[in-house]
Amino acid sequence: MSDGQVLTVREAGRRGGRKVKELYGHEHYVKMGQKGGQVMATTHGKDFYSDIGRRGGQAVKERHGTEFFREMGRKGGGSTKERYGSDYFSAMGKRGGAARRKQ
């Protein structure tokens, strides 16, 4: 940098990330994320993701309360209805709400 300006670690990281994206594209980051997820699943087991999801949901519930989740559901439902129409919910209801069985 010129004129005595200091380059922070954050700014250096931002510039580096932009340069990598410029050189390799968005797909590069997608592949890196997928590889990282596979390594984590191998290292910690597949239940790891369920556990961290549960912990994250609990932290959000403690921070924002249950009304926060209700509001998210209302917004998501409205967005889904806007995108797919009312009949989508009927079709989903006919399929049933049971989770798929592990094979």
Boundaries of every domain in the chain: 1-45, 46-94
User: Quick one: pLDDT at residue 1?
Assistant: 56
Angstrom distance (rounded) from CA 44 to CA 10: 30
pLDDT, tens digit (0-9, with 9 covering 90-100), for 23-43 = 999 999 999 999 999 999 899
Query: If you ran DSSP here, which 8-state letter would residue 97 be given?
Result: S
What is the token pair recorded at 43?
A: 């290292």
* pTM score, whole prediction: 0.50
User: Quick one: pLDDT at residue 100?
Assistant: 67
Confirm if 17 and 25 have CB atoms less than 8 A apart: no
Angstrom distance (rounded) from CA 29 to CA 33: 6
What is the token pair recorded at 58?
A: 């609990």
DSSP 43-81: HH-THHHHHHHHHHHHHHHHHH-HHHHHHHHHHHHHHHH
